[in-house]
Amino acid sequence: MKEEIIALVSEVLEVPKEKINEKTNLVSDLDVESLDLVDLIAAFETKYQIEIADKDIKKLQTIGDIIKYIESKNV
C-alpha cells in the first residue's frame, strides 16, 4: 500500500516518486497548498473508497500519516 500511496501522491502533485518517502511533509517538503490538498484527498477517497473527515485532514501532515490513516480505514 505504501508504494501505491506514494505513486498517487507523485501523480496528483506532479512530483517525482524519488522525492517522496514516509517522512516527507506535505507542506514543508512538497509545498502543498490548499487546492492541492483537496485534489489529493479526493484522489485517496476515490481510490480507496473511503471518506476522509475534514477534522482528520489536519492530522495528515506526512506521507506516513496518510499511509497509517488509509490502512486504518481499510481494515
Q: Counting Cβ atoms within 10 Å, is residue 9 exposed (0-12), middle (13-18) or buried (19+)? A: buried
Residue 62 · residue 25 · CB < 8 Å:
yes
- Tens digit of each residue's pLDDT (9 = 90 or more) over 19-35: 999 999 999 999 999 99
What 3-state class would DSSP assign to 25?
A: strand
Q: How far apart are CA 48 and CA 52, in angstroms?
A: 10
- In the structure grid, which three cell numbers stand for residue 1, read together? 500500500
**Single-letter amino acid, residue 66:** I
CATH of the domain at 67: 1.10.1200.10
Q: How many domains does the chain have?
A: 1
- Tens digit of each residue's pLDDT (9 = 90 or more) over 51-67: 999 999 999 999 999 99
pLDDT category at 74 given cuts 50, 70, 90 is: confident
